[in-house]
Structure 1
Amino acid sequence: MASRKSGKAAGNKPSKAWAGRFREQTNRLVEAFTRSVAVDRRLYAHDIQGSIAHCRTLAKAGVLTRRETATIAKGLQSVCRELEQDRFRFLPEDEDIHMAIERRLTELIGPLGGKLHTGRSRNDQVALDIRLYLRDEVKALIGRLTEFQRVLVAQAQAHENVPMPGYTHLQRAQPVLFAHHLLAYVEMFERDKGRLDDAHVRLNVMPLGSGALAGSNYPVDRLYTASLLDFPAVTQNSLDAVSDRDFMIEVSSALAVVMMHLSRMSEELIIWSTQEFHFVDLPDGFCTGSSMMPQKKNPDVPELVRGKTGRVYGHLMSLMTTLKALPLSYNRDLQEDKPALFDALDTTRDSVAVMTELMRRLRVDREALTRALTGGGMLATEIADYLVTKGVPFREAHAITGRVVRWALDEGRELSDLSVEDLLAFSPRFEKSVLERLTVQGAIDRKAQIGGTAREQVARRIKELTKRLA
């Protein structure tokens, strides 16, 4: 990653000392093509955090004096304040955020700023910065997912006893509680948090001290540096440390699954908010109208989340494709890892945030859900299972029930309206007790095993989740 800028530019730039190998300055097209500061500037706080730790490690190794260390650290803190307060002036020759910070540090404290990079390459510096940044971002996203889960659990509790059709193949299947349906997404996001937690374990390893590829010639105590930066471990192979981006792929993969779950929820909200379903009413502030049709209320937010899911998938494939043929160790191709990672993080974070607020304001049409429970023979499985309790093999019970459903459809009747006499025409095993099965609430409450949709199980799970997510 060595630069070879011309020494003609004003200022005591660190790159000036590296110009000796080349007879001409970097072509301006190349400068513009390789410049990444617009993308990696978000790493500034983590770069400075890592530089201060590196500086203190150099002091411990006897490479810097205490006074030099204090001066460099104070200068870096001044640079950090400039960046935080948007007072930092980037120059055209600032290739990336790392060089921009070092250039400004040298302007503030003089040639001493050039000592900061002793025993360090931009290869291990960048690897450190990304891990520090990603560590914070993953923790923050887990927190956002937890808040989203709280909102879903609150909605489930508010609609704890509201039944609705459960679907397979988008066809009405069996009655479930609306709360049970919402809690399915809570389980999905819990797994997402687990994946992010798992990725965090492997990204939370410190690479600094690996140098450009072979390690450092200075007696730096890497475990000391790790303790300063709150890393529980250090990398064990310098070649791997500077070229590893597996942790970025793991996080991007987890982000893709989060977006997949958000997209599934979005699809249901889009369907449920149609006039054909009208199960829910999306908040006006999260919808838009039509430029031509005044009556329209379009579900733009769920549609955009659904669309942005493909974008995050693409970033995952971009990272994997970038890495698939890279020889050890560092290659400049790796500069392309950050745009993909950063946009995937931003897109997922924003999608979770907007969906959290949408679901917080979601209105549920209980009457529409109740109306949807009629028609389609949704209690058919209850009849089949009843026959099984009377000794009929399930396959035979299934066939008998199918004939009952066909007859009811032809007659325009609901299964819940059938009499024992009607059912006896199909099997002598029917008794009066079958009528207890032919109610929506009875069908729901019989699913009383762990994970079932029975009211007692859903209430239990809501209580557990409320306590856990608190």
Structure 2
Amino acid sequence: MASKLWEKNIQVDHDVETYTVGRDREMDLYLARYDVLGSIAHITMLQTINLLTADELSQLTAALREIYAEIEAGKFVIEDGIEDVHSQVELMLTRRLGDVGKKIHSGRSRNDQVLVDLRLFIRSEIEDVVHHITTLFHTLQAQSERYKDVLMPGYTHLQVAMPSSFGLWFGAYAESLADDLVVLRAAYDVNNRNPLGSAAGYGSSFPLNRELTTQLLGFASVDYNVVYA
């Protein structure tokens, strides 16, 4: 019987598996909180299409919130022999809730699950970077104003050419950061689309409400083409 979610009835070369998996379990810890948030949105949607009862939703939501608290407290670990964060969360749910815990995977593939985790993680990271860049921008602008009358020579071809100022140089770096914010905004917009419901790349036969999970997770829109997602 297969011991991993993706494993079939063939023997996988150990070195190949080690090379391809690498530090996945370690890196998955960065995705843990987002995996839980994505799962809460997913099960909320499942209950609206009658794939979960209200009681099952209540049990799963409470257990997921407990797991989220453990993640935030730094107590969450991916156990030895467990492949990834998705498997660990599902294992914890089944230990606490029995078969109800397994229902969290209904209408969902590991493919779109990890995509959601990554989108939420990247969105958060971009927001953090933008915050720090904005702070630095305002600092440079303040220095530009402060030192606008402090002169320095402007050089061309290694020769003094024109009078300049320290303020002008501070302002130049500030303006470059403004361009960086434009690029980050574009990256944010491309990333901020919901892949949940694309399943393994061809959608699901369940009547999934992708608009609801989009709203719950704060995405701007869905990834409409499930193959592209």
Query: Is the 1:153–1:186 contact (alpha carbons within 8 Å) kept by the matching residues of 2?
Result: yes
Question: Aligned to 1:126, which of 93, 114, 139?
Answer: 114
- Aligned residue in 2 for 1:296: none
* 2:105 alignment partner, SS class: coil
Q: From the superposition, tell whether residues 100 and 53 of structure 1 become closer, same or farther in structure 2 (CA, over 3 Å).
A: same
- Aligned residue in 1 for 2:216: 228
- Aligned residue in 2 for 1:66: 54
Question: Aligned to 2:196, which of 208, 214, 217?
Answer: 208
* 1:72 alignment partner, SS class: helix
CA deviation string 1:106-148 (max 9, x = no partner):
2222221111011101111111111111111111111101111
CA deviation string 1:330-380 (max 9, x = no partner):
xxxxxxxxxxxxxxxxxxxxxxxxxxxxxxxxxxxxxxxxxxxxxxxxxxx
* 1:239 alignment partner, SS class: coil
CA deviation string 1:254-310 (max 9, x = no partner):
xxxxxxxxxxxxxxxxxxxxxxxxxxxxxxxxxxxxxxxxxxxxxxxxxxxxxxxxx
Query: Is the 2:196–2:210 contact (alpha carbons within 8 Å) kept by the matching residues of 1?
Result: yes
Query: Is the 1:55–1:116 contact (alpha carbons within 8 Å) kept by the matching residues of 2?
Result: yes
Q: What are the equivalent positions in structure 2 for 1:31-430 lying under 5 Å apart? A: 32-33=18-19, 34=21, 36-241=24-229
Distance across 2 between alignment mates of 1:148 and 1:23: 54
Distance across 2 between alignment mates of 1:169 and 1:97: 57
Query: Is the 2:154–2:160 contact (alpha carbons within 8 Å) kept by the matching residues of 1?
Result: yes
Aligned residue pair count? 227
CA deviation string 1:377-413 (max 9, x = no partner):
xxxxxxxxxxxxxxxxxxxxxxxxxxxxxxxxxxxxx
Give the Å deviation of 1:216.
0.8
**Structure possessing the higher relative contact order (Cα contacts under 8 Å, 6 or more residues apart):** 2
| Larger Rg over CA atoms | 1
Provide structure 2 residue ranges, at least 5 long, that are not aligned to the other structure.
none
Give the Å deviation of 1:37.
1.1
Q: 199-208 vs 26-35, which deviates more?
A: 26-35
- Aligned residue in 1 for 2:9: 22
Query: Is the 1:31–1:95 contact (alpha carbons within 8 Å) kept by the matching residues of 2?
Result: no
* 1:216 alignment partner, SS class: coil
Q: TM-score, normalised by structure 2?
A: 0.91
Give the Å deviation of 1:165.
0.9
Q: From the superposition, tell whether residues 109 and 170 of structure 1 become closer, same or farther in structure 2 (CA, over 3 Å).
A: farther
Query: Is the 2:150–2:167 contact (alpha carbons within 8 Å) kept by the matching residues of 1?
Result: yes
Q: Partner amino acid for 1:63?
A: L
- Aligned residue in 2 for 1:452: none
Distance across 2 between alignment mates of 1:97 and 1:90: 6
Distance across 2 between alignment mates of 1:183 and 1:230: 35
C-alpha RMSD over aligned residues: 2.1
Distance across 2 between alignment mates of 1:60 and 1:106: 22
Q: From the superposition, tell whether residues 147 and 27 of structure 1 become closer, same or farther in structure 2 (CA, over 3 Å).
A: same
- Aligned residue in 2 for 1:4: 2
Q: Partner amino acid for 1:102?
A: E
Distance across 2 between alignment mates of 1:140 and 1:92: 32
Distance across 2 between alignment mates of 1:97 and 1:30: 21
**Percent identity over the alignment?**
36
Q: From the superposition, tell whether residues 146 and 89 of structure 1 become closer, same or farther in structure 2 (CA, over 3 Å).
A: closer
* 1:202 alignment partner, SS class: helix
* 2:81 alignment partner, SS class: coil
Q: 78-87 vs 43-52, which deviates more?
A: 78-87
Q: Partner amino acid for 2:55?
A: R
Give the Å deviation of 1:167.
2.5
Q: From the superposition, tell whether residues 170 and 75 of structure 1 become closer, same or farther in structure 2 (CA, over 3 Å).
A: farther
Q: From the superposition, tell whether residues 209 and 144 of structure 1 become closer, same or farther in structure 2 (CA, over 3 Å).
A: same
Give the Å deviation of 1:192.
0.4
Distance across 2 between alignment mates of 1:29 and 1:80: 34
